[in-house]
Chains A and B, each alone.
Chain A
Amino acid sequence: MKLENEDALDNYVICHACYTLHEEVTIQDGAKACCTGCGSILYRYDTKLIEHGLALSITGLIFFVLANVFPLVQIELLGLEQFITIPKTIFSLFDSGFYIVGLICAFLILIFPFMIFLINLVLFTLLKLKRGEKLSKELLILLAHITPWSMADIFLISIMVALVKLIGYAQIHMGIAFWSLIVFVMIDIYIVKRVHLSELWMLRKRIIVEEKS
């Protein structure tokens, strides 16, 4: 294989699932490129990714705040009413002395999802304004480190499992935060889990090249 210089390697992609080397090809807007070896998606091309990302990051943050402020579920047990919010769940773990579990939960379902959306917001703003070349690099590196540790979707499934366990013992009412969390998780899957980080790196490079020319 012959190349002009090392930077020409940017035109190649290695599949994240099976490690096959691919040459990057230009594809239609809205299309996706798949791996020839295992069929998993290599990258997508979306001209409106910055706008979508910016809008959905703001929406996600709003729903995240809603999901944390309002009651998640309310139950009636033996004539008494109880409700929980997400922060209350974590604080009750601290209260009963489970500091390690409390800390792990706080990071996985509260701090990391919030950080990811905040970083995305700043990142897409920078890309939109075509500025902050260095900052966007640092943000992308940080994002790569914390993305695997965000577990809002798993928490949502856990709530459902916990509630099914309680059916028959107590009356259950879903709160506003539960529906907000569902919306938040859907946005999270759409903009964080579906978009590979390498697509954001490619986008950043395109913008820098555009700016320089």
Chain B
Amino acid sequence: MIEIDESKLIPCPVCAAVNIDKGKKNTCRRCGSAIYHHRSFSTEKSWAYLITAIIAYIPANIYPMLVTNTFGAHEGSTILGGVVLLWEHGSYPIAMIILFASIMIPVMKFLILFYLLISVKYPIGKDKKVDKHKLYYMTEVVGPWSMIDVFVVAILAALIHLSNVSIVAGTAATAFAISVFFTLLAAHAFDETLIKENR
């Protein structure tokens, strides 16, 4: 018989098996993966990914996402410009989807991860009113959906390349794809057990 403190049980980040928190050198008893062995720099990895993502998000909004060539005339449209254009054309649902996927979700994710990373280190928001696990879970679930805009650009660029009319992906496509990729990495690198310890 062994005695276990219930608050010392943590799930394995890979296989979700229940494990006893043994501190620094801890491997999962079921799958053998390391369980947050980087305890001494627990949030730094996530910070690094998050900052990279935010930096990449700036050119993603400045440069054109799509470049339309019609009869020799080039016309670029940024993410926000594309949303405004769609709204003016009357396709409100699509404008909303793009607005949500490429502007609201990334910005929300930045803010939530920012808040989580700060709050696990410093005593901010300790009043339990905010369900941080739910916040984190939400970012994990909705995060991948910001890739919609990149895929749309890829499809349009592949579909429309006639001699007179063609659509080419812009610089922002690369920047945006990198930004989304790094936000996903930042969310995965975040150590969820820190939430429990600090509330």
A141 touches B33 (CB 8 A): yes
B162 touches A101 (CB 8 A): no
Chain B, 1-25, contact with A by CB distance < 8 Å: what is the 0/1 string? Answer: 1111110011100111111100000
A14 touches B178 (CB 8 A): no
Could you write out 11 A-B pairs with CB less than 8 Å apart? A16-B11, A21-B6, A92-B157, A92-B158, A100-B178, A154-B147, A158-B152, A161-B148, A165-B152, A166-B156, A166-B159
B151 interfacial by beta-carbon distance below 8 Å: yes
* 14 additional contacts (CB under 8 A) given A16-B137, A17-B134, A89-B158: A2-B1, A6-B2, A7-B29, A9-B17, A38-B134, A73-B159, A98-B173, A101-B174, A105-B154, A140-B31, A145-B14, A151-B144, A154-B147, A165-B91
* Chain A residues whose C-beta falls within 8 Å of the C-beta of B108 in the assembled complex: none
Q: How far is the CB of A211 from chain B (nearest CB, A)?
A: 17
B151 touches A105 (CB 8 A): yes
* Chain A residues whose C-beta falls within 8 Å of the C-beta of B6 in the assembled complex: 1, 21
> Which among B31, B98, B137, B154 is the interface contact of A93 at CB below 8 angstroms?
B154
Q: For chain A, what secondary structure do more than half of its interface residues adopt (helix, strand, loop), or is it mixed?
A: helix
Q: How far is the CB of A90 from chain B (nearest CB, A)?
A: 7
A25 interfacial by beta-carbon distance below 8 Å: no
* Chain B residues whose C-beta falls within 8 Å of the C-beta of A164 in the assembled complex: 91, 93-94
A159 touches B155 (CB 8 A): yes
User: What is the bound-complex CA distance between A89 and B152, given in angstroms?
Assistant: 10
* Chain B residues whose C-beta falls within 8 Å of the C-beta of A209 in the assembled complex: none
A32 interfacial by beta-carbon distance below 8 Å: no
* Chain A residues whose C-beta falls within 8 Å of the C-beta of B184 in the assembled complex: 148-149
A165 touches B86 (CB 8 A): yes
A45 interfacial by beta-carbon distance below 8 Å: no
- Identity of the chain A residue whose Cβ is nearest the Cβ of B6 in the assembled complex: A1
Point out residues on A near B: beta carbons under 8 Å. Answer: 1-7, 9-10, 12-14, 16-19, 21, 38, 73, 75, 77-78, 80, 82, 84, 88-90, 92-93, 96, 98, 100-101, 104-105, 108-109, 137, 140-141, 144-145, 148-149, 151, 154-155, 157-159, 161-162, 164-166, 170, 196-198, 201
* Chain B residues whose C-beta falls within 8 Å of the C-beta of A4 in the assembled complex: 1-2
User: What is the bound-complex CA distance between A89 and B153, given in angstroms?
Assistant: 10
> Which among B15, B33, B151, B168 is the interface contact of A158 at CB below 8 angstroms?
B151
Enumerate B14-50 residues with CB–CB distance to A below 8 Å.
Answer: 14-20, 29-33
